[in-house]
Structure 1
Amino acid sequence: MRSQINWVRREFHQLSTDELYSLMSFRQRHLLRQNSLQQVDADGRDPLAWHLFALAADQGLIAYGRICLPDSPSEALLIDRLLCEPGLPLEGSLVAEVLAFTDDCFDLPVECEVTDEQMTWWHPYGFDIVVDRPANRHGMIRMQRTSTP
């Protein structure tokens, strides 16, 4: 039987100590597994970001995404740290939840930083590779929404 999933959206200051520890532990574990942790994960953007995560009653934290607010109004929101528990088909749900949140709450363009294999998660939502700006993290690909599905 499949457990019910509860999607949670929090600003950094709204996270409890236990939630913050769980999120950081989850991120470290999954970024290491992806071999995409080639720089320090705590990059200083978390306090100014929204954190979206999925909790399952029988498994705890199973998916996570970070929405970084832009430094200026002319810049895009940046979605990164997209992570799912292996073996669970949550990629589509994670992208849909993150985009529903950004579309509902912000009137800004949206970009994301993804791994090679995560690119396919974003194509159905109108995202393409950004060629004029590299990703912030080594080995990642920056994508932007170029059309609405």
Structure 2
Amino acid sequence: MSDGIEDVVGVLTEQIERRFEMSMDDLTAAVTAAPDANLDATEIVKWHGLLTESQAALDRAEDALLAALETRPSKVDDPTIDLAHRVNAAVTTRDGRAMVVRWFLDPNARGKQDHAAERLARLRRGTRRGPAVPTSAPAQPATAPAPGRGVLR
């Protein structure tokens, strides 16, 4: 169904390959061998994989919708409408994942240069200064309630 529309996965794959100066297969192998060597590469490979999965799901959904429309050209029934909704959901998923890949590819993307980015970088490195909220052991009751008797309200 995507005649004339730019191939989202193909365009992003080319951008990734240009940025890292290697093929997607080589980048995936490098990330698999050393996932902590370049965290941006690791995230991009992860999200690119999710993107290609969602593109495959979209292709299957479009094929099913086209097949349904070819068998019932004059009437659109509930199952066909459900297939159309499935295509819409698949497009939304694919586009959302493409946005994430674009965000990782853009060094000046919003959120990469502020305090949130610093916190994200600390979380990625696994360094924490302490609990996010002060914690203490829960208070223990002085005595246990009598059997069979509850609290009346």
**TM-score of the superposition, structure 2-length normalised?**
0.20
Q: Which has the larger strand fraction?
A: 1
Larger Rg: 2
Task: Give the structure, 1 or 2, with the largest relative contact order (CA under 8 Å, sep 6 or more).
Answer: 2
